Structure 1
């Protein structure tokens, strides 16, 4: 499986360093301050791109000395940093999976822009490849079908998010079950839990995001 990892410039306290290290030998794209953050972790990205408004002159010079491909983008542009990085990954690397770090936390408008990004025309055909990862959550995207999902050993909580109108959502073996539910509005079925190491779900229309979560503040007990 070809994996491309993207570090965008979100709050660094939301970045799971232990997971970054596990992926350090894979392809990395550093977007805006995310590129400098990668260098601080000993990872040299294949591409560093952004307007670098949050990167000082010394940091930018350091980037240019280590990264072969540095792309300076205009401050005012028609795409977000996350959109740019995801397009770059899809168009130039053709991955099987894209892990996006630094895309959650901080400003709520930016979080929502990232959450709904895979529904846009540029990404819709590839939404199953996109995963957001932070210290307490993973977010994956699904089209209609029947699925088995494996529990992340660290995560206790499970949520199913209707990003569009959804038909026939069924959770047959989770802790809190649901049968053939239709929703005309976006809706989050939160605070569910796995019942076993592998659980299943299905639906016949719409787009659903599945979130596995660890409650770091209160623990998982």
Structure 2
């Protein structure tokens, strides 16, 4: 199953959405953006403090379900949306758009979502995507990355200390190495349609990107 979560970042930064999804979740202003771009709206969630009265009314009328959150809360709206998606569809792949391009505190909160203990078991099914970047998350093991169309660059980002990291079949390979702090092995490239990497402990984000 494929779930699309749309946060409140500008649609100008959205990727090209060529495939349909099984469930569309609008997070705060992201719900209104879904409607404005002629997408379905299965669930709207958030405090909706970024919407005008008229915009909120449009969302209420169009969505299949609305969850109103208080403005003062422990979780961000995106965290609430991800919680709902995982609770309802625990086996789904969850793609998040509208999560980049704005405030840095929101960006970091979104990029770090899979590090949270409640989300970590689902990390490999969480994707953050915008018009320039596609972020996937990996837990320990051996992994194969498939090159996406039009994406030139490849980065292996250690979000935590990582042990026995090995990068193969990339332009810049890495022999088995322990990484003691958060580190981005940036500006790598594919040399074929796939690249391999492995590690024993920690979490790694792989970013495919273009200029």
Q: Per the shorter chain, which TM-score range?
A: over 0.9
**Superposition pairs for residues 184-195 of structure 1, below 5 Å?**
184-195=180-191
Aligned Cα RMSD in Å? 1.1
Contact 2:170 2:188 survives alignment (8 Å) = yes
Across the two proteins, how many residue pairs are aligned to each other? 211
The two structures have a TM-score, normalised by structure 1, of 0.92
1:99 to 2:95 alignment: yes
The two structures have a TM-score, normalised by structure 2, of 0.96
For the residues of structure 2 that align with 1:119 and 1:164, how far apart are their CA atoms?
Answer: 9
For the residues of structure 2 that align with 1:208 and 1:59, how far apart are their CA atoms?
Answer: 38
Structure 1 stretches of 4+ with a deviation exceeding 6 A read none
For the residues of structure 1 that align with 2:47 and 2:149, how far apart are their CA atoms?
Answer: 38
**1:86 maps to which of 67, 82, 87:** 82
Aligned to 1:33: 29
Q: Following TM superposition, by how much is the alpha carbon of 1:64 offset from its aligned partner in structure 2, in angstroms?
A: 1.5
For the residues of structure 2 that align with 1:129 and 1:70, how far apart are their CA atoms?
Answer: 24
**Superposition pairs for residues 7-86 of structure 1, below 5 Å?**
7-16=6-15, 18-19=16-17, 21-23=18-20, 25-86=21-82
Q: Which runs of 5+ in 1 are unaligned?
A: 216-221
Q: Following TM superposition, by how much is the alpha carbon of 1:71 offset from its aligned partner in structure 2, in angstroms?
A: 1.7
Q: Following TM superposition, by how much is the alpha carbon of 1:53 offset from its aligned partner in structure 2, in angstroms?
A: 1.2
Contact 1:173 1:195 survives alignment (8 Å) = yes
Q: Which runs of 5+ in 2 are unaligned?
A: none
**2:104 maps to which of 79, 86, 108:** 108
Query: Residue deviations 1:33-77, cap 9 Å, x none?
Result: 000000011112111111111111111111122113112111111
